[in-house]
A and B are shown apart, each in its own frame.
Chain A
């Protein structure tokens, strides 16, 4: 089964600075999807960004971008110009192309933004 590892339980960043959250995954599949979700104190899971494994170009969404290294099975999230509202738990997730009803999540990284 696929596994997702987030090695940083907690991270902190100064407001307006840049922070990178790490994620690695284990799979034998060649095609799949990767996601970053944000979970603020309200607990609701919010999609931040997604990446299709067949695409070599890294996904970007405004201040959020990813560094997808397929060979290394790495999928890190970069948050630029960090804002106080970015403070949350961030979860990396993997979805198989072949069994796309089974999403695997990492344990999460708690991001603190300091004013």
Chain B
């Protein structure tokens, strides 16, 4: 199993450009999450999904959109990138049946917005 994978690993955008980050998991997990990690701070939840076709806002959702058309994929979109969105983005997934909901993380995507 590959676990949780993220595409791309690195990206540089100009202000106002758009892009989509792809997260894929092969563990048949129901829940998926997108976080951002900024220097000196812990991970903060952007959006999450509790199943195919569902999405919900997390702690810092502004400027991002998500979609979960397939159970194994969770996409994070930036419609008009801003320098404040420069960050490392992590995707995670978890199994609904695990009562502790332990999350399994991808390797991260480093995004720079100029």
Interface residues of A, Cβ cutoff 8 Å to B: 4, 9, 33, 35, 37, 42-47, 50, 52, 91, 93, 95, 100-108
Chain B binding surface SS class = loop
Q: Does B50 contact A (CB under 8 A)?
A: yes
Q: Does B61 contact A (CB under 8 A)?
A: no
The chain A residue sitting closest to B92, CB to CB, is A45
B90 in contact with A33 (CB, 8 Å): no
Chain A binding surface SS class = strand
Interface residues of B, Cβ cutoff 8 Å to A: 31, 33, 40-45, 48, 50, 56, 58-59, 88, 90, 92, 100-108
Q: Please, which residues of chain B bring their CB within 8 A of the CB of A37?
A: 105
Least distance between B12 CB and chain A CB atoms (Å)? 17
A101 in contact with B50 (CB, 8 Å): yes
B101 in contact with A91 (CB, 8 Å): no
Least distance between B46 CB and chain A CB atoms (Å)? 12
Q: A104-B42, A105-B42 are in contact. List 10 more A-B contacts (CB 8 A).
A: A33-B100, A35-B102, A43-B107, A44-B108, A45-B43, A47-B104, A103-B33, A106-B42, A107-B41, A107-B42
A52 in contact with B56 (CB, 8 Å): no
The 7 closest A-B pairs by CB, nearest first: A105-B42, A45-B105, A43-B108, A105-B43, A44-B107, A106-B42, A33-B100
State whether A44 and B105 are in contact (beta carbons under 8 Å apart), knowing that A101-B48, A101-B50, A102-B59 are contacts in the complex. Answer: yes
A108 in contact with B42 (CB, 8 Å): yes
